[in-house]
Structure formats: C-alpha cells, structure tokens
Amino acid sequence: MKTSSRFLTAVILLAFLLWLKARWNSIQAQWPEFQQISSYPQQAHAKQEAASNDRHQSPSDKLRAPIRPSVPNRVIVVAKQSDDDTDWLMDELPDWQHAVYTLDDPTTPGFLHLPKSARPLKATAYLTYIIDNYFSLPSTLVFVHPHRSGFPRALHNEFPDHDPPHDIVYALKRLRIDFVQENGYANLRCTHEPGCLDEIRPFREPRDAWRSGAESVYAEAWKTVFNSSKDDEVPWVVGTPCCGQFAVSRRQVWKRGIGEYMWFRKWVMENGLEDEICERVVEYLWHVIFGRRSV
C-alpha cells in the first residue's frame, strides 16, 4: 500500500513538472513578441526591420489580416464591392500578401470586413487595415482600387497603351520597392491630370461652380484631421496625382502613432460629408498624412 501511494505521488509530481516545463516553453516562445510590442516604438523598429525584412515573423492573430508566411513581406490592400472581381490578385500577384475588404457585404467568407458600425468607404478600410495591423505591418504597403484594368473603369491606373489598357498588375510588377523604402511614399499614378498642379485651392475666390465639393470643405477637414485651429495653417494649394492609389513603407506609417490613424478614421466616419466628397477629400490628404508637402 505504502509503496503504491509513493509511486502515485511520484507520478503526479512528474506530471506536474512536465506540465510546468511545457508552460515555461510556451511563455518563452511568446516572450520576444511581447517584448517587441512593449518596447515599441524605439527598439521595435530596428528589431522588426531586421527580423522581418523579407519574411513575416509574427504569429497570426484574429484581428490581423491573414498572413501567408511564405510570401514576401509586402501587402496589397483593396476595398471592393461584392460584385468586384479581385481574383487577379491571386492569379497575377501571388508574391504579395492580400488584404481585401468587402465594403457592402459583411458575410462573404475569405474577405476582411469592417466593424459593423463603420462607414463603408475605401478610406475606412485603408485606415482599418493600418490600425488592426499597426504593430505587425509588412515592410511595404500598397493601396489600390479593385479594378485590375480596362477603360474607363480603371482609368485611375497608368499605362493606357498596355494590353490590357490601364493595367495595375503591370504597374505593380514594375513598382520599385527600394524606392518606396527610401522615399517612404509613392503615388502610383504619374499622369498629372487630374490632380496636379493645383486641384484643391481651399480658399479660392470666387469658387468655381464646376469643381468638386471637396474643395469647399477641404479647409475644415484639414483643421479637424490635423488638429489645427487656424486657417493660416491650411495650405493654399494642394496638388497630387489623383485617385488615391499609393505605396507606403512601414517606417513611414510608423511616423504617426496608432492614435492618429484612429483619429482620422473617426473623422471619416463622423464628418457627415457625402460619400463621394469624403473620399475625394481623403484622396488629397494621403500624401500629407504620409509626410509629403501639400503640392
């Protein structure tokens, strides 16, 4: 009897030790990630740059976009309507991660969805991607429309003479990642019209009736988004190639805190502007958000 109870105690003790060891291993495994987040931003930048320049290192997590670990560390973010076909991403650009939001249908499996209360705009989706993935961003991020090519629906893309015309796949295959890394931000459009050189003049007098409503609400938008109270902090001229398709480096995104992106998104959701005008205003804010001058 005594022997068997001793034996039992020994077995229980051993089991306990094994369990402790397993716990310890799992805590140790999570430790680097935890440290990385808690020491953010100073050390995390350098460490993450080094650790994941080519491959993703972070474990996936429900909030984040699906990560395919074997794919290089760069993402294409798209916001689509449910009837837009984005199969071209997988077919033509499999060496990118993809984060595709469906704006009008929160049920389609295989896509990302905005929070229920969110305003279903491209701007909301882009900012949601940045906010949800802020601490584990790939080193290069590209934001594009869902239409691969064609005229006029993909007019916003370059290369009208390519076959197919206005093909974003052709553009992205030629994108110089090293330039994006060096410069921080690149508009994906080179054609100046529309947008350059002075699309938005927030204080134009008299107002041009034919101009989009974006211009007349731009100054107020600027002041809210950038927390400025004075008109003289709003630029007189804003010009950038149109259409809000751009590439940005993680380092550039991190020049603003996550709170600022949440602030932008809150403004997008609550500004009361018509959808089209709101999207237009945001198109002429991205380059400034990502560190460029207004023109």
Ligand X SMILES: *[C@@H]1O[C@H](CO)[C@@H](O)[C@H](O)[C@H]1NC(C)=O
Minimum distance from residue 264 beta carbon to ligand X (Å): 7
d(CA 161, CA 158): 9
Nearer to ligand X, 260 or 279 (CB): 260
Nearer to ligand X, 111 or 267 (CB): 267
Minimum distance from residue 21 beta carbon to ligand X (Å): 45
Residue 243: both structure tokens together: 């259409």
d(CA 172, CA 140): 12
Minimum distance from residue 257 beta carbon to ligand X (Å): 7
Question: Mask: binding to ligand X, 256-275, rule CB under 6 A, as x and -?
Answer: ---xx--x------------
Minimum distance from residue 72 beta carbon to ligand X (Å): 31
Q: Does 40 bind ligand X (CB under 6 A)?
A: no
Nearer to ligand X, 168 or 221 (CB): 221
Cβ atoms of 256 and 289 within 8 Å: the answer is yes
d(CA 70, CA 68): 6
Sign of CA dihedral 94, 100, 105, 110: positive
Among 40, 203, 226, 236, binds ligand X (CB under 6 A): 226
Minimum distance from residue 263 beta carbon to ligand X (Å): 4
Give residues with Cβ within 8 angstroms of 59, minimum separation 6: 33
d(CA 83, CA 86): 9
Residue 137: both structure tokens together: 């961003």
Q: Return the SS3 of 128.
A: helix
Nearer to ligand X, 115 or 259 (CB): 259
From the list 177, 154, 150, 149, the residue with the least C-alpha distance to 88 is 149
Minimum distance from residue 260 beta carbon to ligand X (Å): 4
Q: Give me the phi and psi of 142, to 5 degrees please.
A: -125, 135
Nearer to ligand X, 243 or 268 (CB): 268
Among 227, 230, 232, 272, binds ligand X (CB under 6 A): 227
Nearer to ligand X, 127 or 154 (CB): 127
Stretch that binds ligand X, among 114-122, 193-201, 255-263, 275-283 (CB under 6 A): 255-263
d(CA 214, CA 128): 23
Size of the residue set binding ligand X (CB under 6 A): 5
Q: Which residues of this protein are in contact with ligand X, per CB under 6 A? A: 226-227, 259-260, 263
